[in-house]
Amino acid sequence: MTHTSVSDCRLLELPRIERPQGNLTAVESGREIPFALARVYYFYDIPGGEGRGGHAHRQLEQVIVAVMGSFEVVLDDGSGRRSFRLDRAYHGLYVPPMIWRELEGFSSGGIGVVLASERYLEDDYIRDYDQFRVQKSGSSDG
């Protein structure tokens, strides 16, 4: 699935259960999340000025949520770019396979949760931007 574009990336409005004692968001595999969940991970304690990401995935789909604070996700499909500032625990950014992503502009104490369709597999990563571009342009030839 290499033909994905940044227009396939979208914000999912996740359910919010609001109570006087606070809010809660729950998601289920294949319901609010448009794939079967295989893994959850989170990032936190991001030093000021640091960024994350800088890679694409060959197969993996994911939904990224800023559960605390905010950060920017810059998406790139090799020909177009799109950027989302995530700042709500009930907004999930769906990212399909073969989209380059950079995460930056973290607010102090920002925490992100990622819901992923695959277990961790280093072979699924493309960590070189030029290689990513080559694979994307190859896909449009055939």
55 is catalytic: yes
Under the binding rule (CB under 6 A), the answer on residue 133 touching ligand TYD is no
Of the pair 91, 101, the CB lying nearest ligand TYD is at 101
CA pair distance 119, 62, nearest whole angstrom: 11
- Selection from 22, 8, 59 nearest residue 38 by Cα: 59
Structure tokens at 1: 């699935």
- Selection from 142, 114, 140, 141 nearest residue 57 by Cα: 114
- Find the binder of ligand TYD among 25, 35, 52, 70 (CB under 6 A): 52
- Window contacting ligand TYD (CB under 6 A); options: 12-20, 39-47, 84-92, 134-142: 39-47
- Find the binder of ligand TYD among 13, 24, 120, 128 (CB under 6 A): 120
Total residues at interface with ligand TYD (CB under 6 A):
7
Under the binding rule (CB under 6 A), the answer on residue 44 touching ligand TYD is no
CA pair distance 14, 20, nearest whole angstrom: 19
Catalytic machinery residues: 55
